[in-house]
């Protein structure tokens, strides 16, 4: 099972029209298609998962799918080994997942977690970049230097951070379980073990913490910038008053 993160969003409706003869099942946020002797799951939040698909076929399909991907990004990859053993119980191990039998419900749950992990890695890289930028600003001030940026730059920076957080919350819903697992405890066990194996919850909370740090740091910088601009305005007003006084004095002489 191989996952690729391709971009900000996959337009599922458009993709369904293009691959209508391959559709196995389709939901609002994901879709399963046949591909050769295997399957591919498409998730609206920008990732695809290939199951029993040879690498060349997966690559060709990813290129065909690119037409329906908005905000294409650097491709990130993750994988997990699926083993079918009729004599064993369903169990998630560190390096593999053992299933007693193979069905679409189990494949969908396992694909969802793998796709979320790959997409989460994309956001982790994005947030690290934002954190580095925020640190550069605050470190300059902490070392006794000055920050020469504008309020507009900071507002754009805050906006990027908030937009990133919104995408994480709305697209991944990492802390929520699919409805199907509430109906079957065995499926919930597989889902929770698989999610724990990829540390989705702790990674998500770490991202939330980093985004809060970024937001707080930038708010401080905006306040400093506003204060600096206020001081400049006060100086200008004082200078204008002084000029008027001098002109008035010269006018009387």
Calculate mean pLDDT across residues 141-162.
Answer: 68
Calculate mean pLDDT across residues 77-93.
Answer: 91
Count the residues in the chain.
253
How far does the chain reach from its first CA to its final CA, in angstroms? Answer: 91
Q: How many C-beta atoms lie closer than 10 Å to residue 81's C-beta?
A: 10
Calculate mean pLDDT across residues 201-224.
Answer: 78
Element (H, E) at 212: helix 200-251
Which residues touch 137 (CB under 8 Å, ≥6 apart)? 147, 149, 217, 218, 221
For residues 193-227, b (16+ Cβ closer than 10 Å) or e, as one string? ebbebbebeebbeebeebbebbbebbeebbebbee
Calculate mean pLDDT across residues 68-81.
Answer: 92
At 92-131, the pLDDT tens digits run 988 899 999 888 899 999 999 999 999 999 989 988 888 8
Give 213's pLDDT tier (boundaries 50, 70, 90).
Answer: confident
Chain-centroid distance, C-alpha 219:
22
Q: Which two tokens stand for residue 3?
A: 């996952």
SS (H, E, C) 37-87: CEEEEEECCCEEEEECCCHHHHHHHHHHHHHHEEEEEEEEEEECEEEECCC
Axis-axis angle for helices 104-142, 151-172 (nearest 10): 160
Task: Look at residue 132 and tell me whether its pLDDT is greater than 90.
Answer: no
| Residues 198, 1, 165, 167, Cα dihedral to 10° | -160
Q: How many C-beta atoms lie closer than 10 Å to residue 172's C-beta?
A: 23
Alpha helices in 90-199 (DSSP H): 104-142, 151-172, 179-183, 185-197
Res 238: pLDDT: 55
Chain-centroid distance, C-alpha 93:
26
Give 57's pLDDT tier (boundaries 50, 70, 90).
Answer: very high
Spatial CA neighbour of 226 closest among 140, 149, 151: 151
Q: Which two tokens stand for residue 16?
A: 């369904």
Please tell me whether residue 2 adopts helix, strand or coil conformation: strand
Q: How far apart are CA 57 and CA 48, in angstroms?
A: 13
Task: Look at residue 18 and tell me whether its pLDDT is greater than 60.
Answer: yes
Task: Look at residue 170 and tell me whether its pLDDT is greater than 90.
Answer: no
Calculate mean pLDDT across residues 223-249.
Answer: 56
Name the strands in the sheet holding 69-79, side by side, starting at the edge strand that comes first in the sequence. Answer: 23-26, 30-35, 38-43, 47-51, 2-10, 69-79
Task: Look at residue 242 and tell me whether its pLDDT is greater than 60.
Answer: no
């Amino acid at each position: 099972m191989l996952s690729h993160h391709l971009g900000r969003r996959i337009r599922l409706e458009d993709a369904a029209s293009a691959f209508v003869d391959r559709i196995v099942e389709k939901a609002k946020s994901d879709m399963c298609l046949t591909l050769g002797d295997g399957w591919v799951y498409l998730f609206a939040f920008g990732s695809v998962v290939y199951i029993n698909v040879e690498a060349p076929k997966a690559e060709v399909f990813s290129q065909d799918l690119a037409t329906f991907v908005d905000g294409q990004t650097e491709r990130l990859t993750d994988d997990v080994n699926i083993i079918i053993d009729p004599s064993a119980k369903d169990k998630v191990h560190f390096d593999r997942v053992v299933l007693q039998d193979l069905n679409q419900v189990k494949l969908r749950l396992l694909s969802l977690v793998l796709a979320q992990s790959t997409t989460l890695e994309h956001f982790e890289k994005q947030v690290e970049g934002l954190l580095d930028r925020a640190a550069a600003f605050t470190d300059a001030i902490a070392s006794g230097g000055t920050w020469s940026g504008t309020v507009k730059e900071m507002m754009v920076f805050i906006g990027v951070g908030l937009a990133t957080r919104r995408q994480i919350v709305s697209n991944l819903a990492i802390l929520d379980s699919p409805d199907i697992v509430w109906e079957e405890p065995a499926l919930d066990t597989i889902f929770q073990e698989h999610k724990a194996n990829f540390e989705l919850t702790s990674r998500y909370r770490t991202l939330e913490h980093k985004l809060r740090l970024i937001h707080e740091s930038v708010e401080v910088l905006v306040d400093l910038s506003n204060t600096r601009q206020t001081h400049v305005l006060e100086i200008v007003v004082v200078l204008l008053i002084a000029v008027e006084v001098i002109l008035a004095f010269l006018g009387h002489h």
